[in-house]
Amino acid sequence: MGWGPFQYNIMPEPASEHAPYYDALFMTITGLAVFFTITVVAMIIFFAARYRRGTKVNRKNILTHHTGLELIWMGVPLVLAFLMFGWSTKNYMAVRTMPKEATEIFCIGKKWMWHFQHMNGVRENNELHVVVGKPVKITMISQDVIHALYLPEMRAQYMVVPGRYTELAFTPTKPGRYKILCAMHCGTQHSEMVGQLYVMNPSEYADWVDKGGNKYKNKPLTIQEAGAQIYSEKGCANCHTGTDNPRAPTLVGIYEKTRKFTDGTSAVADREYLREAIKMPHNRLTAGWENTMPVYGGTLTELQVLQLAEYIKTLTPGKGDFVRQDVKHSTPGSDGDSSAVDIANKGGSAGNAQFRTSEERR
């Protein structure tokens, strides 16, 4: 709409499955608001005009209270309020319940940029490519302050908080280019923490994925491969082997299993827990083990933590994931190259100060 240089819209393009439902509710509430505004304003104008000072009208028997009338104008809005509440809560639950089958994407907010990581390894900054018609689930965390990932055309928004994962899901229905905005004040360049959301046809999208997001000469490492690299770089396998050992519990099959802690509490090992256990392992110790794990809070970025978690999910004892790089290339089965892992598996000490128990250190 518009005239000459003045181009304007009155509503953002509805481009997700939820958008039409959203707009219907929005317009209904707007309709109610308009109705009540007009009713009261009409009352005011009518009374003010008819009973203005000096008009010759009946002013006898003034009413100063009327409980019935009060109940009506309390009751009618109250019933309407409950109806609207029910409708909007139903919508809200639908949009906030994460879909089971969805394209999973990770998002890291930092001053003043959006990082997106696809499962296939493609990383994007301030751009996000998704396929039309398929639900998208974004798991988000912030590296510094609170941001809010806001996709107006999808009618989707959720805060990106440091220290915890949040989720956002939507299903794009219309191919095109849309806005990605930050809707929570995050400092100097808040208004430039913006990007584009590209919704593509399945064939285009397959093409884009094939080319590794048009950005990489070679196909990028998938998120699990990237996680495996960190796992090996940081030497996680030094302690976390295929089976529980005196130094550390195994991480095989840990995801979504209940963990018991030394303080008697327990929790399900979800992504939130894995993050905490990597960044601040001393917070909750798995029952049976000492506080020996180094703190990775300052050394790993949020993206690396996400990649690690995705890799840990895939661990199986049979895959040989627990063989260190130097071990892998030695002859299997020979004791000639006894790694720290093997010694640990046999119950011995790796001789590394950080693995000693607190008593030994004293």
Partner 1 sequence: MSSTVIEQGTVEKPHSEKNYLNADHTLKSWLLTVDHKRIGILYLISVTFFFFIGAIAAAMIRYELTSPKGILLSSEVYNKTFSAHGIYMVFQFLVVAIPAVLGNFLIPIMIGARDMAFPRLNLLSWYMFITGGALITLSFILGGVDAGWTFYVPLSTISENQISLCLVGIFITGFSSIFTGVNFIATIHKMRAPGMTWYRLPLFIWAHYATAVVVILGTPVVAITLFLVVVERGFGFGIFSPELGGDPVLFQHLFWFYSHPAVYIMILPAFGVVSEIITCFSRRPIFGYRFIAYSSLAIAFLGFAVWGHHMFISSQSAFQGIVFSIITWVLAIPSAIKMFNWATTMYKGSVHFSTPMLYALGFMGLFLIGGLTGLHLASLDTDIHVTGTYFIVAHFHYVMVGGTILGYLGGIHFWFPKMFGRTYSEVWGRMSAMIVFVGFNLTFFPQFMVGYLGMPRRYHYYYFAPEWQIYHVLSTAGSSILGLGFLMPGIYLTYAIFKGKKAGANPWGAKGLEWENCDSPPITENFEKPIIVTGSVYDYNPEEDSKLYEDEDTGMLGGKY
Among positions 99, 125, 176, 192, the unique one binding partner 1 when judged by CB under 8 A? 192
Among positions 158, 198, 296, 322, the unique one binding partner 1 when judged by CB under 8 A? 158
**Residues of span 7-36 touching partner 1 by CB under 8 A:** 7-12, 21-22, 25-26, 29-30, 32-33, 36
CB nearer to partner 1: give 80 or 209. Answer: 80
Does position 68 bind partner 1 by CB under 8 A? no
Q: How far apart are CA 303 and CA 107, in angstroms?
A: 8
Pairing of β 147-151 and β 266-268:
unpaired
Q: How far apart are CA 294 and CA 300, in angstroms?
A: 12
Q: How many CB atoms lie within 10 A of CB 37?
A: 10
Among positions 101, 188, 258, 335, the unique one binding partner 1 when judged by CB under 8 A? 188
Written as one letter, the residue type at 138 is: I
CB nearer to partner 1: give 3 or 326. Answer: 3
Question: What is the maximal distance between C-alpha atoms in the chain?
Answer: 114
Residues 194-233: x where in contact with partner 1 by CB under 8 A, - otherwise, as a string: x---------------------------------------
Count CA atoms within 13 Å of residue 51 on its CB side.
10
Among positions 98, 113, 132, 183, the unique one binding partner 1 when judged by CB under 8 A? 183
Does position 333 bind partner 1 by CB under 8 A? no
Does position 177 bind partner 1 by CB under 8 A? no
Q: How far is the CB of 260 from partner 1 (least distance, A)?
A: 22
Among positions 121, 122, 124, 153, the unique one binding partner 1 when judged by CB under 8 A? 153
288 in Cβ contact with 279 (< 8 Å): no
Phi, psi dihedral angles at 165 (to 5 degrees)? -90, 140
Q: How many CB atoms lie within 10 A of CB 291?
A: 11
Q: How far is the CB of 214 from partner 1 (least distance, A)?
A: 21
Q: Which of 258, 254, 139, 154 has the alpha carbon at shortest distance from 197?
A: 154
Helix (H) or strand (E) holding 117: strand 113-118
Count CA atoms within 13 Å of residue 193 on its CB side.
26
Stretch of residues binding partner 1 (CB under 8 A), selected from 129-137, 152-160, 215-223, 324-332: 152-160
Does position 278 bind partner 1 by CB under 8 A? no
First vs last Cα of the chain: how many Å apart?
77
Among positions 118, 123, 129, 155, the unique one binding partner 1 when judged by CB under 8 A? 155
Does position 181 bind partner 1 by CB under 8 A? yes
Does position 301 bind partner 1 by CB under 8 A? no
Q: How far apart are CA 198 and CA 132, in angstroms?
A: 9
Does position 353 bind partner 1 by CB under 8 A? no
Does position 313 bind partner 1 by CB under 8 A? no
Among positions 148, 200, 236, 309, the unique one binding partner 1 when judged by CB under 8 A? 148
Does position 239 bind partner 1 by CB under 8 A? no
Handedness of CA 90, 91, 93, 99 (dihedral sign): positive
Does position 4 bind partner 1 by CB under 8 A? no
Does position 186 bind partner 1 by CB under 8 A? yes
Q: How far apart are CA 199 and CA 15, in angstroms?
A: 9
Contacts of 220 (CB under 8 A, 6+ apart): 120, 121, 122, 123, 212, 213
CB nearer to partner 1: give 110 or 240. Answer: 110
Residues 76-115: x where in contact with partner 1 by CB under 8 A, - otherwise, as a string: -xx--xx-xx-xxx-xxx-xx-------------------
Q: How many CB atoms lie within 10 A of CB 120?
A: 16
Does position 73 bind partner 1 by CB under 8 A? yes
Q: How far is the CB of 262 from partner 1 (least distance, A)?
A: 18
